[in-house]
Amino acid sequence: MTEIETPKGLIAGPDGRTRCAWHGNLPDYLRYHDEEWGRPVTDDIRLFEKICLEGFQSGLSWLTILRKRQSFRAAFAGFDIDAVADFGEEDIARCVADAGIVRHRGKIVSTINNARRAQDMRAEFGTLARYFWRFEPALHERPSSVTHAEIAANPTTPVSVRISKDLKKRGWTFVGPTTVYAFMQAMGLVNDHIEGCICRQPIEELRASFVRP
C-alpha cells in the first residue's frame, strides 16, 4: 500500500488526525495547539499575559516560554495589570534572580512599563479587548486560503504593523510587528490554523458566533 504523504505544514497526530505541524506532537505543545491557539480571547489578563510573553519569546522558541508560563505567572502576579504596574526595583531584582523565567532585565522592565500603558489603555477604551479587537482584519485583508506557504511567507501583516506602530506611540515596548502578529494568531484575531488542520473549521465556527467586545 502506498503511504499517503501529508501536505507540507501538516502532521498526523497520535490520534491519527491531521493538525498544523508546528507543535511536533509534543504533548504539552499539542494541547496548546488544540485547546488555546487561535481561539478568540476577550479576557484582559490573558491578552496582557500573552503580549508580554510574546515579548519574552523574542529570540527564543514559544515552547520555551510555554513551559515556563506557570513560573512567569507566579513572578508577575498572575499578570494582573494593576499589580504589575505597581512593581518597583525590589520586584525587578526578584524577577532577574528567578531561574524559572527568562531573566532578561529589559524584558522584565518592559512588562512593568506595559502594565502601566495597559492601565492608560483601559482608561481610554474600557478594556484591552476593545482596543485590540478593533484591529481585527477585514475579510479582504486575509488570504483566500490559509496555507503553510502563506503563513511562512508572512510573519508580519499590514495589520500587525499598524498595531505595533500604535502601541509604540502609546509607549509600549517589545511589541514589534512579528511579536504582534504572533499575538494576533494566538488570541484569535485571525484563524491561522492551516487548511487541513482539524482545528480550522471549529475555530471558524467559534469566530462566527463570537461576540466582539
Annotated catalytic residues are 32, 54, 62
Q: Is 8 exposed, middle or buried (0-12, 13-18, 19+ CB in 10 A)?
A: exposed
Q: What is the dihedral of CA 77, 82, 84, 90, to 10 degrees?
A: -100
What distance lies between CA 49 and its chain's CA centroid?
9
- Per-residue DSSP letter, 172: -
Q: What Å distances lie between residue 35 and 132, 181, 188, CA to CA? A: 21, 19, 12
Cβ neighbour number for residue 74 with a 10 Å cutoff? 12
